[in-house]
Homo-oligomer: A and B are copies of this chain.
């Protein structure tokens, strides 16, 4: 049920996705949905947590990859994400970006959950930037926390634009300009 939620909610908005669509996808009666989840809100939050767990594993795979220099790990994550978007013909975006866009109309619990997800991603990236800093690949004056925050702010914009254009060019421009703009 969570897996179906990940498919549906990376493609379309939470508001536009009914419990009916979920149970129909699975071919199960509606009652079985409410056996597992008290409400659509509880379900949405569970899907968001599953997405975060999946995404953090992906991030760790890249950002903790000792075979690469720290800044190259960030580039590798972005290249991997390009392939991911291409694989689903740009229909599927980032669940966190999608839900963030409609947060004004979602139950308040979503806002806190989304902010905490971004915090986790930011922490991982800031640690990777600090490794680059320790090696001298980044200026010792660089504010790694602020740069990590800047990355995720822009990254969500890049995913949005890639889906609009139906191509990876925005992700590539973002990747090149972000890396080129790092304080050395």
How many identical chains are in the complex? 2
Contact assessment for B15 and A115 in the assembled complex, using a CB-CB cutoff below 8 Å? no
Which residues of the partner chain B approach A100 to less than 8 Å between Cβ atoms? 160-161, 163-164
Give the contact stretch, choosing among A31-39, A45-53, A143-151.
A143-151
Contact assessment for A153 and B157 in the assembled complex, using a CB-CB cutoff below 8 Å? yes
Instruction: With A176-B146, A181-B181 as known contacts, state yes or no: A11 contacts B104, CB within 8 Å.
Output: yes
Which residues of the partner chain B approach A161 to less than 8 Å between Cβ atoms? 100, 118, 152-153, 156
Contact among B104, B157, B164, B170 with A163 in the assembled complex (CB-CB below 8 Å): B104
Contact assessment for B164 and A149 in the assembled complex, using a CB-CB cutoff below 8 Å? no
Contact assessment for B97 and A160 in the assembled complex, using a CB-CB cutoff below 8 Å? yes
Q: Interface residues, chain A, CB within 8 Å of chain B?
A: 11-13, 15-16, 91, 97-98, 100-105, 111, 114-115, 118, 146-147, 149-150, 152-158, 160-161, 163-166, 170, 173-174, 176-178, 180-183
The 8 closest A-B pairs by CB, nearest first: A181-B181, A157-B157, A154-B154, A150-B177, A156-B157, A101-B101, A100-B164, A153-B157
